[in-house]
Amino acid sequence: MNSQSYSPQQVLRAVQAQRELLNEQWKRLAEVERLHNIEREKIIAERDEAALDLSKAMLPALDASSIARAAQLCGLVGLPAEDLPGRREARRAFLVSRLRTISVEPLYRDRELLRHPRTGSIPQAIAENSEHRRPLAEVVGKCESHARFARLMEVGFGIDDQSVPWWRFSYWSDRSAASEIVATFPAKENFSEVREDYVRAKEAVAIFDAEIHKLRATIAAGEALDREYVALYNEHQHIDEWALQQARVRIVRHMLEADASLMTQRLSRHKDETLLFLRASGLSAKLTYLDAIHKKNADELRTELNAQKAKIDGVYQRGVAKGRGMPADKFQIFAVNRGPKYEKRWQRWGKTYQTVQSYDHWDRGRFYEDLLWWDLMTRGRHDGSYIREVTVFHQSHPHYEYDPTPPRHHHHPAATQDDERDVQSDRDAAARSAEVDGAGGDNDDHNAGDSPDTGGDLTATDAS
């Protein structure tokens, strides 16, 4: 080996090693994608269950008093004025009227007589028209299948005033083509007879096609009435349940889209509703955060892996493929083992992801006047500025600072010894993290990748 350079074989081995490392990272990323999708489906199911529980507590029935109470609790002040019970009854009356109208429509009332696939008069009429159309369509098909037939019709071949003189070459080509077409109709003596049959058949086929289209449209209209009747009948049978569900969905959507801090304050005198809201709100936030964490880190890793692939391919094409070696200084940079760097990224990503994933102390949110789930889940130790919802919260709460032991906790009537221990645990963990941060080292995501208390490999995420 030359002390100043590395041979093409050595560079090739380095290229192969780097490609193997990239392939390992791509496989690992695919596995993380799979686990994240499993986890998010699990959270969606939990969130939907929590939202359903909240909706039932907020609106047990669709009556005026229940609606007024729900509107007062969640801040939908205009909801009582919409008269949802009255709108439900108006819809019920419409359904009854429309169902009666459909039931006397001949296409619906006589559907078996008219539209039965085997015995209905309309399918039979379609079959008869199709049978009469078939021989006529064969005549048209035979004629139009010849490449020169359209020209023969255009120039009027076979009639007295045809436009092509006999001395032109095209006349004899037309004559030859006409003979070929006549030969396909043994009962015809000349092209004029074929031409007359074609014109009559073409007109008749158009008439049959129009009639068949009309009959099929009648069947389609009847089938549309069938579907409408079934849909309206089902709605009528479940209108009370569906109207209540629609109102509940609207109320819960409003609650989850509102500022969680303000909603918690509105519900503060109602413990059950507060705890149900916090669970639904927290699970909704968790899903948002995990999606954002995954997208940010996956996008960054893809960009890095693609850039590294381009470098490896460049080294191969410019050097190895041409039998060239590489200077020692460049080779040492190229061949460096990037495995530890990737591993550190995975650990940092895994720690943030698993910190949010494992959080389930939803009742703790009631102690915060300014409730940002990100800080509760991460204990204020991870930067969430890349998450839109976190950024919007900070913009609307410019003086906000996360406190692991909020003052409201000490005076909250629902505080318990378990809550005290949980919050103290957060406080101790934050103190330990601060000590680690102050000890030096990389300051990436508040030392999220190097903190000693947790960490993790994303491919070991419990997403089952």
Q: Give the pLDDT band (50/70/90) at residue 148.
A: confident
- Give 284-333 pLDDT, tens digit per residue: 999 999 999 999 999 999 999 999 999 998 888 888 777 888 888 888 88
Q: Which long-range contacts (CB under 8 A, 24 or more apart) does 197-201 make?
A: 197/139, 198/139, 198/140, 198/143, 198/153, 201/136, 201/137, 201/139, 201/140
Beta strands in 31-175 (DSSP E): none
Q: Say if residues 396 and 259 touch (Cβ distance below 8 Å).
A: yes
- Give 250-291 pLDDT, tens digit per residue: 999 999 999 998 999 999 999 999 999 999 999 999 999 999
The whole-angstrom separation of Cα 260 and Cα 277 is 9
Per-residue confidence (pLDDT) for residue 5, from 0 to 100: 84
pTM, two decimal places: 0.72
